[in-house]
Amino acid sequence: MIWVNAVLQGVLLGGLYALFACGLSLMFGVMKVINLAHGDLAVVAAYTALGVVAVTHLPAVWSFVLVVPIFAALGYVVQRTLIQAALNRSVLTTLLVTFGLSVVIENSLLQFLSANSHSLNIGSLVSDSFSIGSQITIAYLDLAIFVIAVAVLLGLQHFLSATKHGRLIRAVADDREAAQLAGADYRHIFGIAAAIAFATVAFAGLAFGMYSSFDPTIGTDQLLLFAFEAVVIGGLGSLWGTLVGGIMLGVVQQVGAQVSSTDQILAGQLFFLLVLVIRPQGITSRRRTA
Amino acid sequence: MSETSALLEVRDLTVHHGQLRALHEVSLGVSAGEVYAMIGANGAGKSTLLRAIAGLDQPTSGSILLDGADVTRMRPERRVAAGIVMVPEGRRLFPSLTLEENLLVGSAYARPGPWNPGRVYELFDWMAQRRTQRAAQLSGGEQQAVAIGRALVANPRVLLLDELSLGLAPVVVRRIYSLLPDLLASGVTILLVEQDVSQALRVATRIHCLLEGRTTLEGPPGELTAGRIEDAYFGLAKPAGGPSGSAGGYA
Amino acid sequence: MNAVGQHVPRAVSVTGGAAVRVTRSRRSALWPGIAVVAIVVILGYLPYVVHSGTTTLLVQFFTLLTMASMWNLLAGYAGLVSVGQQAFIGLGSYFVLIGALHGLDPFTALPVAAIGCGVVGLPVWWLVSRLRSGYFAITTWVIASVCELIIIRYPSLGGGTGMLLSGFPDISQTLLNAYIYWTSLAVTVIVLAGVYLLLRSPLGLVLTALRDDETGARSVGAKVARAQRLVFIVAAAGCGAAGALLIISQPFVEPTAAFSVQWSAEMIFVTIIGGIGTIEGPILGTIVFFILQQTLSQDGTWYFIILGLVAMAVAIWAPRGLWGLIAERTGIRLFPVGYWLWPAGSTAGPRGLALLRGRGRGPGRSGAAGALALDDPGRAGPDDPRSGPGDAGPDDFPV
């Protein structure tokens, strides 16, 4: 029963990882940019929520109403300026620039907000839980985060498959030049994709801030790597792959933690490397011949 | 050489690929309602010309005018809004999108006009039932038809067709070329690149031959003898001054 | 004219045969060579004349310069953007510690640690060599994290809290500091000389071609894969040596600091600001780093924030870095690894030379002025730059 509980906790945690991963996956899928500042952006979102709560006295849970739109706008601006400028050079330049952005964000947070850890106060919700049997306990918060993650993925899925701009994003991802010939300004479409990616990372950052405590360095130490691992394990190409990847990573981590509490992260990393060796294209990916 | 009334006018266009000069001071004028055919051997610069007109390749010098307005520095997507739409070489459909989605992307920034996905389905009767199929699963000829449809739904004033026949069976090529009268009837002017000279002569109202980036011959097919075209195509004639210069002077 | 404009099959055939002189640099390489030797001699003499505070700072300087030169070799020449070199820095430190725990003198343990890191680099390369750009970058990072998490599991190595390095020879602190200083100087000289010789070797031509046009050079053949593997292993060993220097100079090691991504940040910023794809770049960048750090050291991490911002700006707007700007204006090359072509009978290599210089400036990170030695890969690459052979995922993002 302990193991069932570990797997169940892992599945719930996997939802959070998928939420982190979908923005990374979207930006890589559309612009071929791996945003190395992805984890730090989540941390910034959590800090922004702290600020919003301090100023507006809204409950932390409602901070997303402000934070998510702010991040969407930020995503569009960062893409159209910094990342596009790097893209005009080369894909390698985007790596250097987003890595620089990551370091600058992390050190700025350390400089201005100290290395102390914080968490988003959500009152009793953080500890409330229900039990199934004697050994399975599920926190309402974990369940809520999982449900939100799936809802966000569903929404993203719907947006990409059924709206005009979603279609354009997929078209630009397929063939940038052909999209230009259809009248689409790919830079604008990139901006929209980045806005969505930043919005999802804001969601993820807020959820993480409620789920656990955070400090300026956790973005690079853990979040970026977890998000990337979820993407690779699941396989690029579908949001459901990302969810599967997130869940598998979460389960492996929780089972690893059950074996030895210090090996949670190591278990996840090793599993990722194993997947990379055995199936570099990911678990769910089917190579399409175009 | 090019009348001032031309819908699309290219003046002294020079394009470089790195240090290689792909196009050297090429001029042409396409009047409304024409089928203007660029011919020439591989690497003559035909596709470069089309890409430059569509805005994908930046010219080193020269200018491109649509209905008298200079579009030389305009971004490709803005040229679509102005009425220049290209069917690129190799079709370039969006492989992961369905047939219908390809058409919808084409119409996303469309000018007002007669064409829309529904009208394309009328033109190609097989398309409607297969609209949910991914573009990658279509045959080459089907993809070419969808590529034309994707360009048409943007309601172009000038339609640029780059190597329609590339990699297609002759019977499919003939079927696709048989569509041109329908397109012209809807008010579209056509500038096409074709490696198959006899095919080009069949459909064109004007022929323009390029050789190593330079104009070697230009004129209506009726006025050009097979011998002169052959010379211009293979470079036996010396290009002297103007585009319709002294072909055949080598004898 | 046309022959130059379209294709340069072999350097020598540019002007059509024997009537061309090929040299390594525009001016004689003799004087810069003498200058380099003189600088090394002066640096070697320093412990006799300056305070240990200065030499301690210089040890940090040499350590960072070693790391940056290694990253430059990786990213600037072999096109391998790693953000996980801290794996080898940490391992280099811990290998010295392990050696010392088994009675090995730290100075003797240093080369052992470097070689050990090179050996570890081989399986790591096998793991990451199939990955391209972003995948490669983050995976190296994950591997660094794995190394850290594994080290933490060993209480005998200090676990998560770290351990003091002992086993130094029984000499005075002053002399020990001088030894540490000379060791760091030696490591740096060996690393820089190694990079220089590597780039002048036949393999260097492959690497230079790779730097100037990766897709084009790839089509040249399997030599590229071999060159990349060698570079990766050399960089692993070099970063291991840097890590060994770190623990010897501290003399303390702690996993979080030893495996920190901060090391990657430092070497990347320094290389980009100084000028990626040149040997001189990391040297200049390291000098800039230390000036900024010493000036702003009382203001927390400000110097690092500024450094990061400058590096981002340089990567986008001046990708050849500071040294690129200097070399462009003066034509100076301290470490000439390319070739200059001199038309016969002329002393002031005029038109042809200018043409060749122009070619060196690709849209990417071309090196300092004028180095052109290999076939120009030109437009040889496939139309779609995204179709890298090892891309671990499909390009599209369907749902």
Per-residue pLDDT of chain A (290 residues; tens, 9 = 90+): 788 999 999 999 999 999 999 999 999 999 999 999 999 999 999 999 999 999 998 888 889 999 999 999 999 999 999 999 999 998 889 999 999 999 999 999 999 998 889 988 887 777 788 888 878 888 899 999 999 999 999 999 999 999 999 999 999 999 999 999 999 999 999 999 999 999 999 999 999 999 999 999 998 889 999 999 999 998 876 788 899 999 999 999 999 999 988 889 999 999 999 999 888 777 776 544 33
Round to whole Å and give the CA distance between C50 and C290.
18
Round to whole Å and give the CA distance between A250 and A222.
13
Give the model's confidence band at C2: pLDDT under 50 very low, under 70 low, under 90 confident, else very high: very low
C390: nearest CA partner in chain A: A280
In the predicted structure, residue C353 carries a pLDDT above the cut 60: no
Round to whole Å and give the CA distance between B52 and B16.
10
pLDDT at B43: 85
Token pair for C190: 């060996």
Residue C20 lies in a domain: no
pLDDT at C134: 85
Cβ-defined contact of B95 to A181 (cutoff 8 Å):
no
Minimum distance, in Å, between the CA of residue C55 and any CA atom of chain B? 50
Round to whole Å and give the CA distance between C22 and C36.
23
Total of domains in chain B: 1
Contact between C199 and C208 (Cβ < 8 Å): yes
* Residue B167: Cβ within 10 Å count: 14
Round to whole Å and give the CA distance between B46 and B23.
8
Q: Report yes or no: A138 at the C interface, CB cutoff 8 Å.
A: no
Alpha-carbon separation of residue C199 from B148, C75, C99, C322, C370 (angstroms): 51, 14, 32, 21, 15
Q: Report yes or no: A33 at the C interface, CB cutoff 8 Å.
A: yes
Which of A88, A170, A181, A286 to mutate to probe the B interface, most B CBs <10 Å? Answer: A181
pLDDT tens digits along A75-109: 999 999 999 999 999 888 999 999 999 999 999 99
Round to whole Å and give the CA distance between C170 and C188.
25
Measured between beta carbons, the chain B residues lying within 8 angstroms of C359 are 19
Contact between C245 and C66 (Cβ < 8 Å): yes
pLDDT tens digits along C273-293: 999 999 999 999 999 999 999
pLDDT at C201: 87
Token pair for C127: 């793991």
Expressed as residue numbers, the domain containing C188 is 46-260
- State percent of chain B over pLDDT 90: 72
Total of domains in chain C: 1
Round to whole Å and give the CA distance between C367 and A207.
46
Kind plus residue range of the DSSP H or E element containing C310: helix C302-317
Round to whole Å and give the CA distance between B28 and B10.
5
CATH number, position B49 = 3.40.50.300
Token pair for A189: 């479409």
Round to whole Å and give the CA distance between A184 and A168.
8
Residue C313 lies in a domain: no
Indicate whether this complex's ipTM tops 0.90.
yes
Nearest to C396 among B20, B21, B96 (CB): B96
Round to whole Å and give the CA distance between A90 and C360.
17
Residue B240 lies in a domain: no
SS3 C191: helix
Round to whole Å and give the CA distance between C382 and B123.
35
Round to whole Å and give the CA distance between A191 and A117.
32
Q: Report yes or no: A185 at the B interface, CB cutoff 8 Å.
A: yes
Residue A7 lies in a domain: no
In the predicted structure, residue C117 carries a pLDDT above the cut 80: yes
Q: Omega into C251 within 30° of 0, i.e. cis?
A: yes
**pTM of the predicted protein model:** 0.86
Which of C72, C83, C130, C142 to mutate to probe the A interface, most A CBs <10 Å? Answer: C142
Minimum distance, in Å, between the CA of residue C277 and any CA atom of chain B? 22
Cβ-defined contact of A107 to C308 (cutoff 8 Å):
yes
Round to whole Å and give the CA distance between A75 and A84.
12
Residues C36, C42, C44, C45: what is their CA dihedral angle, to the nearest 10 degrees? 170
Nearest CA-CA partner of C186 in C196, C174, C198, C178: C178
Q: Report yes or no: C127 at the A interface, CB cutoff 8 Å.
A: yes
Residue B246 lies in a domain: no
Expressed as residue numbers, the domain containing A156 is 20-216
Expressed as residue numbers, the domain containing B160 is 8-234
For residue C130, with 0-12 CB atoms within 10 Å meaning exposed, 13-18 middle and 19 or more buried, which class applies? middle
* Subunits in contact with chain A (3 or more CB pairs closer than 8 Å): B, C
Instruction: Specify the pairing of strand B84-87 against strand C163-164.
Output: unpaired
SS3 B218: strand
Start-end of H helices in chain C: 2-6, 30-45, 52-71, 86-101, 106-128, 133-152, 173-200, 202-212, 214-218, 223-249, 255-258, 262-274, 280-295, 302-317, 321-330, 351-359
For residue B4, with 0-12 CB atoms within 10 Å meaning exposed, 13-18 middle and 19 or more buried, which class applies? exposed
* Residue C64: Cβ within 10 Å count: 24
Mean pLDDT across chain B, nearest whole number?
89
- State percent of chain B over pLDDT 70: 92
Total of domains in chain A: 1
SS3 B31: coil
Nearest CA-CA partner of B151 in B183, B178, B194, B199: B183
Averaged pLDDT for residues C49-78: 93
Round to whole Å and give the CA distance between C166 and B186.
88
Round to whole Å and give the CA distance between C53 and C63.
16
Nearest to C397 among A29, A232, A282 (CB): A29
Cβ-defined contact of C139 to A280 (cutoff 8 Å):
no
Q: Report yes or no: A189 at the B interface, CB cutoff 8 Å.
A: no
Nearest CA-CA partner of A272 in A7, A17, A64: A17
Higher pLDDT, C358 or C215: C215
Minimum distance, in Å, between the CA of residue C222 and any CA atom of chain B? 27
Measured between beta carbons, the chain C residues lying within 8 angstroms of A237 are 393-394, 396-398
pLDDT tens digits along C175-185: 999 999 999 99
Task: Please name the residue that has the structure tokens 């391209």.
Answer: C132
Contact between B220 and B184 (Cβ < 8 Å): no
Averaged pLDDT for residues C246-255: 94
